Copies of this chain bind each other. A is one copy, B any other.
Amino acid sequence: MVKKSRNPEKTRAHILEVAFGEIYRKGFQGVSIDAIVNETSVTKGAFFHYFPTKQELGYAIVDEILNDVILERWITPLKAYKNPINGILSRYKKIIETAEDADLPFGCPLNNLIQEMSPVDPIFKEKLRTVISLWIDKNEEYIKKAQELGYLKKDVDTRQLAEFIVMTQEASYGLTKTVGDKTFLWSSYHSLKKYLAALSV
């Protein structure tokens, strides 16, 4: 294994990672490319070598980071649970418990981008819609499974429930931004728990 002073894939990934964090904290329009590269070990030349425009950076973040982050955070762990409904609640609880206080003011990166960019950029809108759809789809799969396994009432509209769960989770993060503590997160968790209990058999 030879040490290389250049590693393009790593450089690109590094820029993406830093940009993701900066955008998460300052918003896409609120952060400048200068600010991003200043947090980086590379310069503006490298940045524009990999991303022809700022928008392309944003699209790459959605495609190459956000999608995976969402799935790994909310969906992948559900595999481990016998009753997916329990899985959804347990994971939600765990995510709230382990949320860093310092991150609470910044909400959910997906929701942030949806709110900021959907109305002003159709490509962003479409890409973000795809992420949301996938998130809901996967949730629905597990909800259907729960229904088949007899954990959930047969008359529950699985699509509607999947949409509602994702909405609830996003919403609690959204309002959390304006208070800075976990009030809304726990409130949302307990309400969702009650609701799911009412739908369970």
Contacts and interface: CB of A to CB of B under 8 A. Distances in A.
A168 to B, nearest CB: 6
A129 B164 CA distance: 24
Interface of A is mostly: helix
A55 interface: no
Interface residues of A, number: 47
A29, A125, A164: most-surrounded residue (chain B CB, <10 A): A164
Contacts of A27: 29, 116, 119-120
A30 interface: yes
Given A111-B174, A114-B175, 16 more contacts: A26-B119, A26-B120, A27-B116, A29-B29, A29-B30, A105-B125, A111-B115, A116-B116, A125-B178, A128-B178, A164-B188, A167-B175, A168-B171, A170-B171, A170-B174, A194-B198
